[in-house]
Every structure is written in C-alpha cells, then in structure tokens.
Amino acid sequence: MKKKVVIGMSGGVDSSVAAYLLKKQGYEVIGIMMKLAPDDPDYAENEGGCCSLSAANDARRVADILDIPFYVMNFKKPFKEKVIDNFIDEYLEGRTPNPCVQCNKHIKFADFLQKAQALGADYVATGHYAQIINEDGRYLLKRGVDDKKDQTYMLYNLTQEQLAHTLMPCGEYNKTEIRAIAEEIGLHVFRKKDSQEICFVPDNNHGNFIIKNIKDKVKPGKFVDKYGKILGEHKGIVYYTIGQRKGLGIAVGRPVFVTGIDAKNNTVILGDEEDIFKTDLIAKDLNFISFEKLTEPLEVEAKIRYSAKMYSAVIYPLEDGRVKVSFKEKQRASTKGQSVVFYKDDFIVGGGIIDEVL
C-alpha cells in the first residue's frame, strides 16, 4: 500500500516539482494550498503572491497536470493569531520579527501536520531546499545542495516528531535543475519568479501594514543620539530596524544609522555605522535538532539572518535556559527579534530568537 503524502502547494515551481518528484517516487500525493492571508483585495489581486488568486489557479493547474487531488484549506485564523499578531506585537516592542520562521514553526509544520495526519497522511511535504537525514535514530536537518537556495535557516524550529513525518525532495537538487524538470514535464510555472516579499504585506511596507491594523498604537517620537540628545522626530518606531540608514527622513550632516530602538520611551537611537557592529548576543526560545539540550560550550558556525554569511562562534548555555553567542568577528546589525541559527558542517545544530545584543 502506498504511503500518503500531503504537500503544501503555493503555485510556485518548487512545491510543484516537489509534488511531481514524490509521485514519481511512488507516494500517494494530495496537494493542498494553505489559505493564510486575510480577506483583502490587496492579497487576492497580488500577482504571484502565495495566497493570491493567480497562485491558487497555478497550483490547481499543476495538480491537474500531475493528476493528483487538490484542495484549499483555511488556516487564516491560526495564521493571524500566531504569525500576524506576533509580527505586529514585536514591532511595537522595538524588535524586528521574522514571520517566515514563525509560520514554519506554528503553521506549516505544526497545524498543517496535524490536519494532514487527520486525513490519514503519513507525511507532509514542502518545496523547501533542505535535506532530512535519519542518523542512528535521530533526525537531522542538512543544508540543501544548492547553497544559494538553502532554506535551513528558516527551519531550525522543527522537532524530531515533525522531521520524522516531513519530506523535502527539492533539497537534493539545485534551483536550475528544479526549473528544468518543471519545463520538461510541461509545468507552466517553470519560469515563475520566486516570491520575495512577506506574504501578508504585498507592498513590502511593514510600517504601513501595522498602521493599517493598529493605527492608534503607533505614535511619532524622537530621534536621539546615544547620549540622549534629540536630533529630530520619527514617524513611529515600527518603521525602523537596526542598521537602517535610508528612509530615516532626517539630515544631521553625516550618514547615520539606527543603532537602537527604545519602545518604552518611543525613541529611535541614531549613531555611526561602527556602533552597529557587535560580537555577543543572547538568544531565547531555543530549539536544538542535533541533540536535546546544550549542556556545555560548543564551537559552531552561526548566522544572524537568512541572507547573512556564516561565521565562527561559540555558544554557551545560561542558567535561565537562554544561550550566549560569542562570534569571533563582529557582526553587522544583530537585531532583536531575528533568529540566530547554529551549524556544524552542513547540519543545523539549532537556533533561537535574538533577545539581547551585548
């Protein structure tokens, strides 16, 4: 009897080819589009967005070509509660969240897996570029073979239970090969561009999105220097993030960068670029994949954002359950709310949310 796989289909080339590869491997494949974005014309008409009408039509056409069942499943309520509300709350606290990390943690590999298992599925699958390896009974997460497309940074929260019931067939290919497969089997999405923006912020202006949702909580405040001297007025802390230089709307006679955000006093701290280079940080909400718990200092490679390079670091367990991360080289714009992810060779050790920058 064939193993049953429920695959999340976004209408993009990666999930489309993943569905094809799984069927070719002998699985019974069911395609499901997760409806995540709120009911809003901006999302429905956002050409190429993951929850747009065009994306749903693309996914349905691919399913027809592959001759697999296809359904749309409503996840709007948990997505709003666990991803969008968190996104807004974090910005109001002067932090810069990563909604894709939260979506993977709470929706795509938790709620979605539960729904799939309720349908009798053995696995869920996605088009992520990552590899799941079973080594001596423990599931490990390995970088995808395409270094430029590797998405393990976004997946560090996966648990052993989730890894045991997840398939990621694209991880063994590079993007060029995936597009070539799509073209070869006649999938019209083979030329489709990758989505770059946050799926629920179609114009990529997170500040305006937050204002639209909670206008009364965002108020103008003061730009100050590190000594507290007032330099000007900002339009609301949600518009700024650490390391930002452009779009500040202030001139002080030299280039200045956002070096801090004080939500309590509603101030944005500006300084020189050298002020945003730090070596040490504290991370919370840890998840480890290669072992259960960090009990002693460990040398790793680590990075502080998806697009960043990896640098040598040592991670130290703290008594309160957090970890201290000490990089051997200064990192530019370590940002509270973003994730720091740890690697050994090509495997994920684990990761967490940046809580303090020291």
Please give the positions annotated as active site. 103, 199
Encoded tokens for 357: 């920058």
* 52 known ligand binder: no
* Closest alpha carbon to 8 in 101, 125, 122, 129: 125
Question: Is 154 assigned to a binding site?
Answer: no
Instruction: Name every residue whose Cβ is closer than 8 Å to that of residue 63 and which is 6 or more positions away in sequence.
Output: 9, 19, 31, 69, 70
Kindly provide the residue ranges of all beta strands, DSSP E only, lying in 68-113, ordered along the sequence.
70-74
What single DSSP character describes residue 223?
Answer: E
Is there a binding annotation on residue 13?
Answer: yes
The count of other CB atoms within 10 Å of the CB of residue 161 is: 12
Q: Does the annotation flag 10 for ligand binding?
A: yes
Percent helix / strand / coil, the chain, rounded to 5? 30, 30, 40
Judge whether 245 and 257 are in contact, CB under 8 Å: yes
Which residues contact residue 328 at a Cβ distance below 8 angstroms, ignoring those fewer than 6 apart?
279, 311, 312, 313, 314
Task: Confirm whether residue 249 is marked as ligand binding.
Answer: no
Does 171 carry a binding-site annotation? Answer: no
> Closest Cα partner for 92 from 213, 199, 250?
213
Beta-sheet strands, E only, within 54-207: 70-74, 123-125, 130-135, 138-143, 166-167
* 11 marked as binding residue: yes
Q: Are 49 and 95 contacting, i.e. CB atoms less than 8 angstroms apart? A: no
Q: 139 with 292: CB under 8 angstroms?
A: no
Confirm whether residue 33 is marked as ligand binding.
no
- Distance from C-alpha of 98 to C-alpha of 269, rounded to nearest angstrom: 22
253 C-beta neighbours (distance < 10 Å), count? 5
Residues in the chain: 358
CA 327 to the chain's CA centroid: 22
Known binding site: residues?
Answer: 8-15, 34, 127
Known binding site for ATP: residues?
Answer: 8-15, 34, 127
